[in-house]
Structures are given as C-alpha cells and as structure tokens.
Amino acid sequence: EFFKATEDGSIERLQRLFDEQKDADPNMTHFMESLLMAAIRRERLEVAEYLIDQLTINVKYATNLHEFRVRKANPIRQRTFSCRDLAYEKGMMELVDLIDITNDEVKPSIKRHLRKRLQARLDSIRETYLKRLAEQKNVQLMLPPTEEKDTSGLSITDRSDDKMTQQSTPIL
C-alpha cells in the first residue's frame, strides 16, 4: 500500500498510512526498491521531496542492478544503483542536488553551494510543509473530541494527539 501511494503521487495517503502504522519503516523495500526509488522511477518529485524532508529517508540506499544485454559480447552487467543515480538518469537534477544536500558524505563546502543554488526550491518545500501542517490542524479542529471513561466512571477527553507535532527535517 505504501508503494502504491508513492507511485500514485499521493502524499496525503502516504502520510495517513505512516500515521496509522506507527512502526512502519520509511526505508522499507519492495523487490529491492526503496520508497524513494519508487517515487523517482515514477517521477513523483513532490513525493520524493516529502520522503526526504519529512521522513528522513535513507538517501544513500543502493541496490545491485543486473542488466541483461543479449546482443553484447558481455550479456550481463552488474552495477550498484543508488537513488541519486536513478534521479540523475531521470533528469531530476534538483532532486539530485537535494539528495546531495542531505547526504552526510558530501563536503560542507559543496552543500553550501548547493543550498545557494536550491534556495528557492528549499523555501517552496518548507512552504508546502507548513501548508500541509496547517491543513492537518484544521482537520483536527473540525473533528469532535473523543470521550473516554476512566475506571472511576468520570468522562475525560483524550488529548494525546494534541501533543504530537510533525517537524521538518533540517536540511544542512
């Protein structure tokens, strides 16, 4: 279901799935492909940005790829294929830069350069996050509070969800 929501480009459904299944790992794989790879393969830029920014997904995930080329002298080629490689092959250069910014193996001087180059896009990602957060709060305000009874029979309001807030991942 997570991969279907990712491939369909539905951030709301993906977010709801992660909210419903608290123990779900954002770095899950399906046939050796991560959620981020699935989003990139289907060219779902907003979903990929959401996965990187909100869920702190592993941007360094790589898998072994076996290419079968029948008409070549060496018909099988094996190589390691990362999320960054897939984004590069799909021509999603802003996403390649975003992956580099969040990758701890990239030098700080390069990250500063990338941050300057991507500042408008980073601001847009932040605004989208704040808008989604405001929409969630509006939906929660419209829902009536649930009533529970404790052991003494007194009615109390469950406010445990009010304490939970979603925060943006700082992009270095």
pLDDT in tens, the chain (172 residues): 899 999 999 899 998 999 899 889 999 999 888 999 999 999 999 999 999 888 888 999 999 888 888 888 888 888 888 999 999 999 999 899 888 888 887 777 777 777 777 778 778 877 887 887 787 777 666 655 555 444 444 433 444 444 444 455 555 5
CB 53 within 8 A of CB 122: no
- Cα separation, 132 vs 116, in Å, equals 25
Q: Quote the pLDDT of residue 139.
A: 67
- Cα separation, 132 vs 171, in Å, equals 18
Q: Quote the pLDDT of residue 8.
A: 93
Instruction: Output the CA–CA distances (angstroms, integers) from residue 110 to 1, 107, 121, 123, 172, in the order listed.
Output: 37, 5, 17, 19, 11
Q: Quote the pLDDT of residue 170.
A: 55
- Cα separation, 38 vs 147, in Å, equals 40
Q: Quote the pLDDT of residue 122.
A: 77
Q: Quote the pLDDT of residue 62.
A: 92
Neighbour count for residue 36 (Cβ, 10 Å)? 28
Q: Which of 111, 108, 91 is nearest to 100 (CA)?
A: 111
Q: Which amino acid is at 102?
A: T
Q: Quote the pLDDT of residue 71.
A: 84
Q: Quote the pLDDT of residue 171.
A: 56
Q: Quote the pLDDT of residue 168.
A: 54
Q: Which CATH class is domain 2-163?
A: mainly alpha
